[in-house]
């Protein structure tokens, strides 16, 4: 797909997988390759302006499986990955193109989200061209999912954010800027935190 979506896609791949002892969830297998590669393939196929992958934990091991993608993604190293998700988001936002319309924060373990899911979500966000401040959240039933899209105007807030566990507090403080992309696609809710999650999703 042509790169027609003027957003920077930030794939989070630096986490500790602390609830999966003995494994990095991004390197777990599905259909013959690590789940992170499925996520990268789907994000690339969506046609974003740029794709940045933030690494930290097991960086060398993850890089070893990325040989087919080195020319298509920009790899960012987060030396502070043990400090939590926010540090990885900040590394991605800080390295993103200054002319981007915004940032879509993709979780590396959400490998079931297809390229067309990303496209529909992104287009829904980009339709609001008159909105300088906009946050778009996928919503399935009464549950909020991922990925989240922040307009470019939130760059400074994200970079100054000091809660280690992501940008939920930014969203909470800017509810007047939030819109929901309503969907029946469970893929927006399906990530991996435990071995049970993994086994359920690969069935």
10-59 pLDDT per residue, tens:
999 998 887 787 889 999 999 999 999 999 999 999 999 999 999 999 99
Model confidence, pTM: 0.94
Architecture per CATH, 5-202: Alpha-Beta Complex (3.90)
Residues 49, 3 contacting (CB under 8 angstroms):
yes
Residue 3 pLDDT > 80: no
pLDDT at 40: 98
| pLDDT tier for residue 144 given thresholds of 50, 70 and 90 | very high
pLDDT at 122: 97
Residues 8, 103 contacting (CB under 8 angstroms):
yes
Residue with tokens 């509810």: 175
pLDDT at 78: 97
Taking the C-alpha atoms of residue 2 and residue 111, their distance in angstroms, rounded to an integer, is 21
76-102 pLDDT per residue, tens:
999 999 999 999 999 999 999 999 999
Domain ranges of the chain: 5-202
Taking the C-alpha atoms of residue 111 and residue 38, their distance in angstroms, rounded to an integer, is 6
Residue 133 pLDDT > 60: yes
Backbone angles phi, psi at 25, to 5 degrees: -60, -30
pLDDT at 20: 84
150-191 pLDDT per residue, tens:
999 999 999 999 999 999 999 999 999 999 999 999 999 999
Percent of the chain with pLDDT over 90: 88
Residue 196 pLDDT > 80: yes
Taking the C-alpha atoms of residue 131 and residue 103, their distance in angstroms, rounded to an integer, is 15
pLDDT at 175: 96
Residue with tokens 């797909």: 1
Residues 55, 63 contacting (CB under 8 angstroms):
yes
Rounded to 5°, the CA angle 31-32-34 comes to 95
Burial of residue 182 (number of CB atoms within 10 Å: 0-12, 13-18, 19+): exposed
Residues 21-47: b if buried by 16+ CB within 10 A, e if exposed: eeebbbbbeeeeebbbbbbbbbbbebb
**Strand segments (E) across 43-177:** 48-55, 74-77, 102-107, 135-140, 143-144, 148-151
| pLDDT tier for residue 132 given thresholds of 50, 70 and 90 | confident
């Amino acid at each position: 797909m042509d790169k027609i979506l003027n957003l920077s896609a930030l794939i989070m791949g630096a986490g500790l997988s602390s609830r999966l002892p003995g494994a990095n969830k991004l390197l777990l297998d599905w259909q013959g390759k690590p789940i992170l590669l499925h996520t990268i393939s789907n994000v690339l196929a969506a046609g974003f302006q740029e794709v940045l992958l933030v690494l930290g934990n097991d960086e060398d091991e993850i890089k070893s499986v990325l040989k087919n993608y080195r020319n298509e993604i920009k790899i960012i190293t987060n030396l502070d990955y043990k400090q939590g998700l926010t540090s990885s988001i900040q590394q991605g936002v800080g390295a993103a193109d200054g002319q981007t319309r915004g940032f879509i924060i993709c979780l590396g373990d959400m490998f079931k989200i297809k390229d067309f899911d990303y496209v529909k979500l992104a287009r829904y966000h980009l339709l609001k061209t008159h909105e300088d401040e906009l946050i778009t959240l996928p919503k399935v039933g009464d549950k909020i999912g991922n990925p989240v899209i922040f307009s470019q105007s939130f760059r400074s807030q994200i970079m100054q954010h000091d809660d280690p566990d992501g940008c939920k507090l930014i969203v909470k403080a800017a509810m007047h800027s939030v819109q929901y992309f309503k969907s029946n696609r469970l893929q927006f809710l399906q990530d991996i935190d435990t071995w049970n999650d993994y086994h359920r999703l690969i069935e």
